[in-house]
Structure 1
Amino acid sequence: MGKIPKELTRLTFLSFLNLSNNQLVGPIPSGPQFQTSSPDSFKGNTGLCGFPLNISCSNTGENDNVPPPNPHRKEEAIEWEYVSVALGYVVGLGSILWLLLVFRKFRHKFNDQTEQVFEKIFKPKDRKKEQRGRVNRRRYC
């Protein structure tokens, strides 16, 4: 013995539901699936009441107001554009890290290049002095 779950009214993909001979009791929930069912779908459940059966549920005192499904609700889908961008970053970064870990020659060249870039950024005064010294050396050679 049990009641028909009110959550069944939210299942919009059901076209036919036969609940006969299940020893169900209580009111039949009001929803699109149950409003279109025939009384034969509930046959053999002597404790059921409400539409589409001709049995009134005035004594139950239950409120079976379940909100109908929202037809404007969008199904959440995967945004493949973002997935492909993230995958590109992962592959690019993974390739560089793999090269740095596996190839010693590449690692040393990479470290030298990054060191030069940082020196150019963080030591602009020293760079001007070095350039003057290089110019003077070229003139005397």
Structure 2
Amino acid sequence: MDSGTNPNVREIPSSFGNMRQLESLDLSQNHLSGQIPPQFANLNFLAFLNVSNNQLTGRIPTSTQFSTFPNSSFEGNKGLWGPPLTSDIVAVPPPPKSNGSLSNPNSGDEIDWNIISVEIGFTCGFGIGVGSLLFCKRWRKWYYRTTFNILFKIFPQLEQRFGNHRRHVYVNTRWRH
């Protein structure tokens, strides 16, 4: 478990992540440093993990298994951050920046234009559709006629029940003044 030049520095080997059937792992109080290997996220059978009281740093790997472990499994590592640790710890460093921008593009005061454009598009489309039915009699007649035709094709029994009322929907009638 030694890491290169300094014999006092020990890191968790990433090869532990290859032990797919591993159910329990206690690495507490081993003076470990570095990060928890991302391969640990692949340990689907891991029911118990304890890496407390080491000098581990970085983000805790994200997986369903890691979200089930209690905070006590990670305490005593001042440099660890991310779920399942709570936000009560103020000394946790912020996530690292990549290329001068935050790793989460939706953080802070930025506007998420994807959501805004969907809302504007829906509102305009809905307004055009409803407005055209309210203010254009010809489109309204076409809409009702088409809707009835579609419904009668899907549910033929409706035509027997409501067939005589079908004439009252403005089908091929003209208003005379």
- Whether the TM-score (by the shorter chain) exceeds 0.5 is no
Work out which structure has the larger RCO, using CA pairs closer than 8 Å and 6 or more positions apart in sequence. 1
TM-score range, shorter chain: 0.3 to 0.5
Whichever structure has more helix as a proportion of its residues is 1
TM-score w.r.t. length of structure 1: 0.40
Structure with greater strand share of residues:
2
